[in-house]
Amino acid sequence: MADEVSLKDVADTAGVSLATASRALRGLSTVAPATRQRVELAARRLGYVASFNASSFASRKTNSIGFIVPYVDRWFFSKVIVNAEQELRRYGLDLVLYSVGLEEEQRRRFFTELPVRRRVDALAVLCLPLRESEIAALELLRIPVATLGTRVGDHPCVRIDDHAAATTAVRHLINLGHRDIAIITGQANVDLGFTSSGDRVNAYQDTLLAAGIEPDPRWRVDGDFTAASGDHAMSQLLSRSPLPTAVFAASDEMAFGALGSLRRHGMRVPEDLSLIGFDDHELAEPLELTTVSQPVPEQGRLLGRLLLEQLSGTAGQHDIVLPTHLAVRRSTARRLPS
């Protein structure tokens, strides 16, 4: 692109210095309105676009925000990322993605080599509870950090109350008369250690106990948040006896898999078994899944805003807990008197 229009061209055309042209185009307030107009006109005429690289380099900012995520091609994460990205793009910031979920080795490398160093102005950590050593590594960066789902140190965080939300789900089943309630957890991914997963299991147990029901360990099966694991988990539950009358799946995607298993086994929902999920995935409504609804796009937007606030030094509230609610659909019903 040897023929790209440079800021110098704009400055010359407008009859001002490089410095003034730069200030005018960035909207700095120390430029006379008339001057600004001339510069803007020249820039438009010449079709000038600033070099991202050059201006980032000169200003010692990267204009990029790093996102450390376990997965990007899962419903929850893709929604969060899209919405955070839109929030950041308004301020000219790029989102650069780092997937560290899959392998321990990948994660270790990320935190030792710190590829984000000198590469991003701030960092978002999504649903990854960090170890002490990892937190220490991040502090070395000396850049703002915000997290989603799980608090990391004192960094600002946006999340939901997983324990309370899961409690709502289990209590809904209990209120419908169920006592034989199984759970499909997300705990198979122990290495990632999503806190939300643990919180949901704990809520399940606490809520049962509070209702005077002893949680039966045979009615807990661990999935990994995928539909396939939900399918498999439900098949395991259906091979046991006695059968539960209701199942709480810790994510909608697992619930969808469970739905498949139930159909293959000739079990009707909710007539033979009630099923409740967690998330309010967009398929939950068409598939009539009762679930705990959480505001995913809003979490993404707020995460973006937390980062923005820190970069501009106007950091506000630090631990934002968003509300969830029960979306009652057809997949849960009153327990039949048996």
Partner DNA sequence: CTGAAAGCGCTTACAG
Q: 72 vs 322, which CB is nearer to a second copy?
A: 72
116 binds DNA (CB under 7 A): no
Q: How far is the CB of 44 from a second copy (least distance, A)?
A: 11
Q: How far is the CB of 7 from DNA (least distance, A)?
A: 3
209 binds a second copy (CB under 8 A): no
Q: How far is the CB of 57 from DNA (least distance, A)?
A: 5
* Binding test (CB under 7 A) with DNA, winner from 41, 44, 45, 58: 58
With contacts defined by CB under 8 A, name the span among 26-34, 44-52, 189-197, 306-314 that binds a second copy.
44-52
In this structure, what are the phi and psi dihedrals at residue 64, rounded to the nearest 5 degrees?
-135, 150
The DSSP symbol for 21 reads H
Phi-psi region of 277 (alpha: psi -120 to 50; beta: other; left: phi over 0): beta
271 binds a second copy (CB under 8 A): no
With CA atoms as reference, report the closest residue to 302 among 152, 120, 80. 80
Rounded-to-integer distance, Cα 58 and Cα 267, Å:
65
Q: Which does 18 bind (CB under 5 to 8 A by kind): a second copy, DNA, none?
A: DNA
With contacts defined by CB under 7 A, name the span among 9-17, 138-146, 207-215, 279-287 that binds DNA.
9-17
With CA atoms as reference, report the closest residue to 181 among 210, 218, 232. 218
Per-residue contact string for residues 168-197; x = within reach of DNA by CB under 7 A: ------------------------------
Rounded-to-integer distance, Cα 193 and Cα 322, Å:
22
Rounded-to-integer distance, Cα 165 and Cα 92, Å:
36
Q: How far is the CB of 53 from DNA (least distance, A)?
A: 7
* Binding test (CB under 8 A) with a second copy, winner from 12, 40, 78, 322: 78
27 binds a second copy (CB under 8 A): no
What residues between 241 and 260 interact with DNA by CB under 7 A?
A: none
Query: Taking a C-beta distance cutoff of 8 angstroms, is the pair 201, 185 a contact?
Result: yes
Q: 264 vs 334, which CB is nearer to a second copy?
A: 264
Distance of CA 151 to the CA centre of its chain: 13
CB within 8 A of 311, min separation 6: which ones? 121, 122, 144
